[in-house]
A and B are shown apart, each in its own frame.
Chain A
Amino acid sequence: MSVVATDSFLERAPLLFRDWIVGHFPVALQWLVHHLLTITAILTVFGLFFAFTTIAERKLLARLQNRLGPNRSGLPWFRTLKLWGLTQPFADAIKAITKEDIVPAVADQVLHFLAPVVIVAFSLLGFAVLPFGRYLIPVELDAAILYFFAAGTATELAIFMAGWGSRNKYSLLAAMRALAQLISYELPLILSVVPVVLVTGTLSTRDIALAQGGWTWGVLPHWHVFTPWGFAGFLIFLVAALAESNRSPFDLPEAESELIAGHLTEYSGFKYALFFMAEYFGLTALSGLGITVFLGGWQAPCAFLEFIPSWLWFMGKLAGMIVFFIWIRGTLLRLRIDQLTRLAWQFLVPLALLNLGNAAFWALTSGWTGPLALARWAISAAIVIVPFFLLGRRLTAGYAPRTYRYAA
Chain B
Amino acid sequence: MSFALLLIALVLLGSAAAAMLSRNLIHSALLLTGAWAGIAAFYLWAGAEFVAFAQVLVYVGAVSMVVLFAVLLTRQGATAAPVEFDSYKRVVGSIITAGGVGGVLLGAIFGTPLDVPAAPSPAALTVRQLGLQLMGPYAAALLIVGVILTVALLGAIVIAAVDKPEDPAP
Contact = CB atoms under 8 A, between A and B. Distances in A.
Interface of A: 111, 141-143, 146-147, 149-151, 153-154, 156-157, 160-161, 164, 172, 176, 179, 183, 186, 201-204
Interface stretch (B52-60, B82-90, B138-146, B162-170): B52-60
19 contacts: A146-B50, A146-B54, A147-B53, A150-B53, A150-B54, A150-B60, A153-B56, A153-B61, A153-B62, A154-B56, A154-B60, A154-B61, A156-B65, A161-B30, A164-B26, A183-B65, A202-B127, A202-B128, A204-B127
Given A142-B128, A153-B60, 14 more contacts: A111-B30, A142-B49, A143-B127, A147-B53, A149-B57, A150-B54, A150-B56, A153-B57, A153-B61, A153-B62, A154-B60, A154-B61, A179-B65, A183-B65
Contacts of B126: 142
Contacts of A147: 49, 53
B145 to A, nearest CB: 17
Contacts of B33: 157
A142 B129 CA distance: 11
Contacts, number: 61
Contact of B127 (A142, A157, A164, A183): A142
Closest 6 CB pairs of A and B: A153-B61, A150-B56, A146-B53, A150-B53, A150-B57, A142-B127
A157 B36 CA distance: 13
B169 to A, nearest CB: 14
Contacts of A160: 65, 68
B84 to A, nearest CB: 23
B132 to A, nearest CB: 10
A143 B49 contact: yes
B81 to A, nearest CB: 16
A143 B68 CA distance: 28
Contacts of A141: 49
Interface string B77-109: 000000000000000000000000000000000
B57 A146 contact: yes
A347 to B, nearest CB: 18
B161 to A, nearest CB: 13
Contacts of B53: 143, 146-147, 150
Contact of B61 (A143, A150, A204): A150
A105 to B, nearest CB: 17
Given A157-B64, A160-B68, A164-B26, A201 B56 contact: no
A18 B64 CA distance: 40
A190 to B, nearest CB: 9
B49 A156 contact: no
Contacts of B26: 164
Contact of B60 (A111, A157, A183, A203): A157
B72 interface: yes
A201 B128 contact: yes
Of B53, B56, B128, most A-chain CB atoms within 10 Å? B53
A149 B50 CA distance: 12
A161 B27 CA distance: 10
A141 B61 CA distance: 20
B18 to A, nearest CB: 12
A124 to B, nearest CB: 15
Of B30, B33, B64, most A-chain CB atoms within 10 Å? B30
A157 B69 CA distance: 11
A160 B61 CA distance: 12
Interface in B13-62: 26-27, 30, 33, 40, 49-50, 53-54, 56-57, 60-62
A204 B126 CA distance: 11
Contacts of A186: 61
Nearest to B124: A142
